[in-house]
Every structure is written in structure tokens, then in C-alpha cells.
Amino acid sequence: MTAPESHEDDAPTPLTAFLPPVSPLPPLGAWRADPALPDWLVAPHMARRDSAPVAPSFAAALDARVRRDRLEERLLKRDSPGRLLRRRKWAGDWMGRHGFDSPATLAGPFPIQDLSTHLEGRDSGVIKPVNATNAWGVFPFERTGPFSFRNLFDGTELRLAALLEVLHAPMQRYMFPNKWQIEELVTAPEGGVPDDFKAYAFAGHVPLILQVRRTDGGNRYKFYDADWTPVTTGKYAETTDMDLPPPRDPDAMMALAQQVSATLPLPFTRVDMFETTRGPVVGELTPEPGGYHLFDADVDRYLGVFYETGEASKATLEAVKKD
């Protein structure tokens, strides 16, 4: 009798496996009071005796990864991990295989001209482009009539024809493919559309979290460090709102981001989450967040340390697997 096939390699890697025992740096708020880097990061070495090495940089690391992804796709004719993660269906399937909760896909992919067919019988949901990133074309809705829908971000009510125009505009502007889907609408514990919590996650470490609240007056933002202490980073200075409330269960949100990140093959992925009536869920995985080069210089250096630590952790994991 043939032994059953083993699926041990498909199981999530335990959170504590192959990771540094402690964070390479203290939480951002505390580190800024004494922004020193460990000697192993900046000390001169034999091949560069006359000057110190260049300090780590988050922006430079992601620039290099984007170049590697392009090289892999154009020369090797295969999808890079980053491109796969940007595909909402692939990322959703991946999260399901690994046991992470995420909103269900109710319909799609389909071209926008077929939207009315897929809205039939649906009282609520979230319309999203399949391959775009950020909030381009994202429309959480509740049905208000046979051919009318309320935008739950700003409360406006649109007839179907106007809704199609609203969705078509970002597709024209940002040139993403005409492939759309409808996702399950999740609800915040206090009701309504939940805030986004976007965790900057590096192989199990989460040194920075961005909260986004979308309102009819525009987006409002708030950054937290690993202790959920509010911090400034140089991004969204004009639209930062320190009065935004933190999640009700920050430990659960942090644990989810850590576990997802530890399982992914990349040294960095932003894990976008919602706190909902059924607990924390993963919305999307974002390998290259928009404006990743716009952090203050010290924050860029700080995140760069975590990127290099994540690279070392993933390299160690791969080496152990091969042995």
C-alpha cells in the first residue's frame, strides 16, 4: 500500500522558528530617543577598511526588490512572489490554505461592463479590481434600491450608471486590467466599515502599523510602533489624526500580522488587516506599499534594519529546509 502523501511542507512555519530571539531594535518611539544602530550593521570590515558601510535603507531595499522582480519576470518568464501577492485571488487562496481568515470572494473575475449581472441578488459587498493595489476602485456598498447603491466610505448614493462611471475612472487613470470581483463586506465591532490596519511586517517582526480611516472628508491616518504607541513618520503629515482610536484587541491584530509575515516567502510584506465582528481578518497583502520612499530618513533607516533582518531570517529558513 502506498503511504499517504505528506503535506508537511505546506504547513505554516511556527512563528518563533528561524527568527531572531528578540527584535533587532527597540520600538520606534523609544529608539528615536537614542537612534543608534547595532555595531554589526555599520562597523567597517576588511573589504571596506577606510569608511563605514552605507546604513540600511527601507526604500533602497524595496527599490532593489522591484528590480529583481522585473528581472525575474522579463528574463526568466515567470511571476515573481511579489506579483503573485498583488493578485487578490492568489493571495486569498494562499491565506485560505494557511488558515488565515479573510473576506470571501463572492463573484469574479469579470469585466466592469458585466457588473450589473454580478450585483443581482446582492444587498452588500465590496467591489474591487482584481490586480490593482491601494484603494483604487474599491467600493463598499449597500443596496438602497433595485438599481441604486450607497457608498459606505462617504455615504453617497449612486445609480448603477453613475457607479459604473465612478469605477471606470480609476481604471483609466491607473491603467489596471479590466478584471473585477465582489468580496464579502466585513463589519467593525462597533458597526460600519472597519478601519484599515496596515502592518509593515518583516519575517515575523512588525515594527510599524498604519491605521487608515476613510470618510466623506477624505482619508485620515495614524501610525503606531510595535508597542502601539502613536508615532510620526514623515508620511501623511497633513492628514494625520492622533485621535483615531486603536483597535479593541491590539494583541490579536499584532499576532495575526506576525504569523502571516512569518509564513510568507518575502523578507517584507505589508499585511493589511481589519478588526471585525469575527475578530481580525487579512484584507490584502502588499509587497510594495505606495510611497515607501517618503518616510523620514531615520524611519527609513529603522525599517531598513528590519528588512535586512528579515532577509537573514528567510535565508536561514531556506538553508534549513535544504538540509
Looking at residue 157, which CATH number applies to its domain?
3.30.1490
172 and 138 in a common domain? yes
* Pair (26, 129) in one structural domain: no
Q: Are residues 240 and 314 in the same domain?
A: yes
321: pLDDT strictly greater than 60:
no
End-to-end CA distance of the chain: 29
Q: Give 135's contacts (C-beta < 8 A, 6+ positions apart).
A: 214
**Enclosing domain of residue 133:** 105-183
Q: Are residues 68 and 204 in the same domain?
A: yes
- Radius of gyration in angstroms for the set of CA atoms belonging to the chain, rounded to a whole number: 21
**Interatomic CA distance for residues 115 and 119, integer angstroms:** 6
pLDDT at 56: 93
Is 79 contained in some domain?
yes
C-alpha of 18 from chain center? 22
DSSP result, 163-183: HHHHHHHHHHHH---S-EEEE
pLDDT of 13 reads 46
Instruction: Report the pLDDT value the prediction gives residue 15, as an integer from 0 to 100.
Output: 43
Quick: pLDDT tens for 186-244: 999 999 999 999 999 999 999 999 999 998 788 999 999 999 999 999 999 999 999 99
- Cα diameter, the chain: 73
In the chain, how many domains are there? 2
Question: Are residue 116 and residue 225 in the same domain, yes or no?
Answer: no
Question: Looking up cell 527568527, which residue turns up?
Answer: 19
168 plus 202 within the same structural domain:
no
Chain segment 252-310, per-residue pLDDT in tens = 999 999 999 999 989 999 999 999 999 999 999 999 999 999 999 999 999 999 999 99
**CA 297 centroid distance within chain:** 22
The answer to whether residue 194 is domain-embedded is yes
Asked if residue 306 lies in contact with residue 207, where contact means CB atoms within 8 angstroms, the answer is yes
Residues 60 and 154 in one domain: no
Question: Which bin fits 76, alpha (ψ -120 to 50), beta or left (φ > 0)?
Answer: alpha
Distance in angstroms (rounded) separating the CA atoms of residues 135 and 290: 11
Mark whether 67 and 159 lie in a shared domain: no
- Kindly report the CA angle at 254 between 253 and 257, in degrees rounded to 5? 90
For residue 134, name the pLDDT band (cuts at 50, 70, 90).
low
Indicate if 24 and 126 belong to the same structural domain: no
Residue 9 C-alpha from the chain's centroid: 24
CATH of the domain at 70: 3.30.470.20
- Name the residue type at position 259: Q
